[in-house]
């Protein structure tokens, strides 16, 4: 395939995206279908040649939110852009698997455990459960598995890696901008902040609410900080600094105490490793930027006051009661659990039908029993151990900083998963496992980050 042909397909793809946006906005469904059919084949060919771009588009489709509503027994209120794009990723995953392009060399143990967990999760269909809820919950884990393996196999060049890092940080900036817009829509900066203070979950997009949005910052911010430390070109440092300002502000707007706590621990772990003479000044600059945001944001006091009085909050008592309820479900069904996504149906302390345990281990014990919990926790532990193994074997100091940032991010996400349902979320599952797949491929291929960040 020549360079000119690639450019031609790129232009066709851009045209299709433009037409899709226009037609979705104005609800010209017949015209949308016609143009989609005309342009879908060259787009598929383009993505087959450059599959990493498909994954990047998938992640950004999360931010696009919902297309509209789709009634299915009243249980699915809307369909998201990412819901439409993931089947395309799955299609390419299957095609490349059939062609022998998908392999798990180097991550076979994690892949095997993940696959075993997915098979075990399917046992939920044979229990006395709501089958649709089982499917919706299982889909999140399945999507993470597909994205993990697909990303691990499609990263090819240094340029793709550096672009992915930049896009990851840009993703966090856009999420912050969306939050700023929501705040303005609530009546302006002052009224919007008051609204967030009075009703935290008022900050919501079409695909996630406050605490769920916070987990994305917990993952991205340590990586953005590592990017800030290793970037040599001044414009990249400015980009990283601005992104940190935006994302710290975005995290505060979520008013997520769990997110702030998880990020704080992750950053302490990160700085404990990278604090050296040559990184001292950049780290001080980073801390000053964060301090400025914390000082000028009026919601900061609300967050820290909430952290100090967490044991008195309604959230604390409701979760504690539900923890006991989920533990009861596990004791009554220690092998199979009550089925993925079905905690709410078996709860005595009723929250709502789609209730989450807000604790990844306890939730999996209740939903999939001890076998399912063991398998998925083993996947998470294996991911951490694999990252640490890459860190130990890395020789270049720049690589070590990036790896330690990834390890810190993973620890932060794991901590947050004991307070919020992040791995259970469809969007975060794809976001997290795609990133892990990209990073594992990069370090297996021994890409030297100092080469990518020359002045």
SS3 string of 378-428? HHHHHHHHHHHHHHHHCCCHHHHHHHHHHHHHHHHHHHHCCCCCCCCCHHH
- Rounded-to-integer distance, Cα 219 and Cα 205, Å: 19
**Predicted pLDDT of residue 230:** 85
Q: Using a pLDDT cut of 90, give the percent of the chain over it.
A: 30
Closest CA to 160 of 455, 445, 375, 454: 445
Decide if pLDDT at 312 tops 70.
no
Identify whether residues 269 and 181 lie together within a single domain: yes
pLDDT, mean over the chain: 79
Identify whether residues 91 and 210 lie together within a single domain: no
**Containing domain of residue 10, as a range?**
3-105
In a domain, 242, yes or no: yes
Identify whether residues 60 and 183 lie together within a single domain: no
In a domain, 119, yes or no: no
**Predicted pLDDT of residue 145:** 97
In a domain, 405, yes or no: yes
In a domain, 12, yes or no: yes
Residue pair 383/417 in contact (Cβ under 8 Å)? The answer is no
Identify whether residues 83 and 203 lie together within a single domain: no
**Predicted pLDDT of residue 359:** 87
Q: Which of 105, 130, 165 is the last residue of a domain?
A: 105
- Rounded-to-integer distance, Cα 77 and Cα 243, Å: 33
Decide if pLDDT at 185 tops 80.
no
Distance from the first to the final alpha carbon of the chain: 33
The CA-based angle 389-419-107, given to 5 degrees, is 25
Identify whether residues 100 and 187 lie together within a single domain: no
Q: Which residue has the tokens 């249980």?
A: 75
Averaged pLDDT for residues 143-172? 91
Averaged pLDDT for residues 334-356? 76
Identify whether residues 74 and 189 lie together within a single domain: no
**Predicted pLDDT of residue 307:** 44
Decide if pLDDT at 410 tops 50.
yes
Decide if pLDDT at 304 tops 60.
no
Q: How confident is the model at residue 309 (pLDDT cuts 50, 70, 90)?
A: very low
Q: How far from the centroid of its chain's Cα atoms is residue 100's Cα?
A: 28
Q: Which is more confident, 278 or 226?
A: 226
In a domain, 110, yes or no: no
- Domain total in the chain: 2
Identify whether residues 301 and 446 lie together within a single domain: yes
- Rounded-to-integer distance, Cα 393 and Cα 397, Å: 11
pTM of the predicted protein model: 0.82
Identify whether residues 95 and 212 lie together within a single domain: no
Residue pair 388/242 in contact (Cβ under 8 Å)? The answer is no
Q: How confident is the model at residue 249 (pLDDT cuts 50, 70, 90)?
A: confident
Q: Which of 73, 105, 137 is the last residue of a domain?
A: 105
Residue pair 54/47 in contact (Cβ under 8 Å)? The answer is yes
- Rounded-to-integer distance, Cα 454 and Cα 230, Å: 10
Identify whether residues 68 and 152 lie together within a single domain: no
In a domain, 235, yes or no: yes
**Predicted pLDDT of residue 1:** 42
**Predicted pLDDT of residue 351:** 57
In a domain, 326, yes or no: no
Residue pair 341/134 in contact (Cβ under 8 Å)? The answer is yes
Q: Which of 9-13, 78-82, 345-349, 397-401 has the highest mean pLDDT?
A: 397-401
Identify whether residues 165 and 80 lie together within a single domain: no
Q: How far is CA 395 from CA 197, 223, 389, 400, 425, in A?
A: 48, 19, 12, 8, 36
In a domain, 140, yes or no: no
């Amino acid at each position: 395939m020549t360079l000119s042909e690639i450019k031609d397909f790129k232009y066709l793809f851009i045209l299709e995206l433009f037409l899709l946006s226009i037609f979705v906005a104005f609800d010209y469904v017949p015209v949308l279908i016609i143009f989609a059919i005309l342009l879908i084949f060259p787009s598929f060919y383009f993505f087959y040649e450059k599959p990493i771009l498909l994954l990047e588009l998938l992640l950004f489709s999360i931010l696009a939110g919902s297309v509209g509503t789709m009634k299915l027994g009243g249980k699915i209120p809307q369909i998201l852009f990412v819901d439409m794009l993931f089947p395309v990723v799955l299609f390419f995953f299957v095609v490349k698997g059939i062609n022998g392009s998908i392999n798990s060399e180097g991550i076979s143990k994690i892949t095997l455990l993940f696959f075993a967990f997915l098979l075990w999760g399917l046992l939920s269909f044979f229990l006395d459960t709501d089958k649709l809820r089982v499917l919706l919950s299982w889909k999140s884990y399945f999507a993470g598995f597909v994205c993990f393996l697909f990303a691990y196999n499609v990263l090819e060049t240094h340029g793709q890696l550096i672009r992915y890092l930049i896009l990851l940080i840009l993703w966090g900036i856009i999420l912050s901008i969306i939050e700023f817009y929501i705040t303005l829509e609530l009546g302006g900066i002052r009224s919007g902040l008051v609204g967030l203070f009075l009703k935290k979950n008022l900050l919501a997009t079409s695909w996630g609410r406050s605490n769920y949005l916070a987990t994305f910052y917990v993952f991205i911010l340590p990586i953005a900080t590592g990017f800030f430390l290793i970037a040599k070109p001044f414009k990249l440092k400015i980009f990283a600094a601005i992104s940190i300002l935006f994302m710290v502000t975005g995290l505060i707007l979520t008013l997520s105490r769990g997110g702030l706590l998880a990020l704080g621990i992750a950053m302490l772990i990160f700085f404990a490793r990278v604090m050296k003479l040559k990184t001292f000044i950049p780290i001080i600059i980073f801390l000053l930027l964060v301090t400025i945001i914390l000082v000028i944001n009026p919601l900061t006091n609300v967050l820290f006051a909430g952290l100090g009085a967490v044991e008195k909050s309604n959230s604390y008592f409701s979760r504690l009661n539900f923890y006991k309820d989920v533990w009861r479900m596990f004791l009554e069904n220690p092998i199979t659990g009550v089925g993925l996504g079905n905690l709410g149906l078996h709860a005595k302390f009723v929250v709502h039908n789609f209730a989450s345990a807000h604790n990844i281990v306890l939730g999996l014990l209740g939903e999939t029993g001890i076998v399912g919990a063991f398998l998925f926790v083993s996947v998470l532990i294996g991911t951490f151990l694999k990252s640490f193994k890459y860190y130990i074997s890395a020789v270049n100091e720049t690589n070590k900083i990036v790896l330690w940032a990834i390890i810190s991010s993973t620890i932060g996400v794991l901590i947050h998963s004991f307070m919020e349902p992040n791995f259970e979320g469809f969007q975060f599952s794809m976001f997290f496992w795609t990133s892990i797949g990209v990073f594992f491929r990069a370090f297996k291929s021994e890409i030297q980050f100092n080469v990518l960040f020359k002045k």
